[in-house]
Amino acid sequence: MKLLIVEDEPNLLSVIRKGLSEKNHDVSAALDGTTALEMIAETSFDVIVLDVMLPDINGIEICRRLRAAGNFVPILMLTALNSSENIVAGLNTGADDYMAKPFRFTELEARINALARRASQEHKTPETITIEDLTINLRTKTVSRGEDTIALTAKEFGLLYYLAKNTKTILSREKILDNVWNINFDMNTNVVDVYINYLRNKIDKPYPNKLIHTIKGLGYVLKA
């Protein structure tokens, strides 16, 4: 697996790089955001481990730029900032996972492998998913309903995709958190409900036929 580690602490960077290299991964490294962006422009990576607090361009901004440019390489945010607000901010720009320092190397490796597997599975899926008049293009990461193009954030798209690939299946909040956020949130969080509401406002509210349904006490389901 070809990996890029972006971390401004040289000792930590060295430890991560050495550990992953010993697992037979091809590991590149950058100490700052500018160098990272240059490397990403020249090389296709399978997973990027990206520190948030970098000396020039922070990790959240790097992630935002990549997603805006249509680069959807799996990104694991690595940072000392572990508050819910910072986690949501990072994920909302398009990061796929989030780990707080200090961390166990075995967990880091497991999360990297999980992101790579998920990306591999997505490449095997059909290019589009259609439910009634809702069309989700997995290659371009675009969504339309009828003749209308609907703008979604990266995390909204990820949530919609998860609902769509499990259409007609009731998904609990816990299951959605595990699969869309891939992180151990406090189960009292309302982040799933908030994002479901965001999606409803965009893909349901303007249209007579509603596709996202709440199943009281169980979760949510996407169906015509």
Domain closes at, from 88, 108, 123: 123
Q: What is the pLDDT of residue 82?
A: 63
pLDDT of residue 16 exceeding 80, the answer is yes
Same domain (yes/no): 145, 195: yes
Query: Quick one: 83 and 176 in the same domain?
Result: no
Measure the CA–CA gap between 205 and 47, rounded to whole angstroms: 36
Residue where one domain finishes, among candidates 100, 123, 146: 123
Average pLDDT over residues 65-72: 83
* Same structural domain, 193 and 141: yes
Are residues 53 and 80 both part of a single domain?
Answer: yes
Give mean pLDDT, residues 143-149: 95
Report the pLDDT value the prediction gives residue 20, as an integer from 0 to 100: 97
How far from the centroid of its chain's Cα atoms is residue 61's Cα?
15
Residue closest to 111 by CA, chosen among 129, 126, 99, 93? 99
User: DSSP states of 39-56 as a string?
Assistant: HHHH---SEEEEES--SS
Residue 11 sits in which domain range? 2-123
Shared domain check, 117 and 8 = yes
Residues 27 and 70 in one domain: yes
The answer, yes or no, to whether residue 189 has pLDDT greater than 90, is no
Residues 60 and 101 reside in one and the same domain: yes
- 88 and 13 share one domain: yes
3-state secondary structure of 75: strand
DSSP H helical ranges for 48-180 = 59-68, 84-92, 105-123, 154-165, 173-176
Residue 106's CATH number:
3.40.50.2300
Query: Residue 23: its pLDDT value, please?
Result: 94
| pLDDT tens, position by position, 72-97 | 899 999 887 666 676 777 788 889 99
Domain match, 118 and 163 both: no
Q: What pLDDT score does 119 carry?
A: 81
The enclosing domain of 143 has a CATH number of 1.10.10.10
Both 78 and 142 in a single domain?
Answer: no
Q: Over the stretch 17-64, which tens digit does the pLDDT of each residue have?
A: 999 999 999 999 999 999 999 999 989 899 999 998 899 999 999 998
CB distance 216 to 161 below 8 Å: no
Residue 169 clears pLDDT 60, i.e. is over it: yes
Q: Give the β-pairing of 47-51 and 97-100.
A: unpaired
Report pLDDT for 61. Answer: 92
pLDDT for the residue 187: 59
What number is the average pLDDT over the span 143-156?
93
pTM here is 0.58
Q: What confidence tens digit (pLDDT) does each residue in 108-127 have?
A: 999 999 999 888 776 655 68
Domain boundary among 86, 101, 123: 123
Residues 78 and 145 in one domain: no
Gap between the Cα atoms of 89 and 75, Å rounded: 14
Mean residue pLDDT of the chain comes to: 89
How many folded domains does the chain comprise? 2
| Same domain for 135 and 97 | no
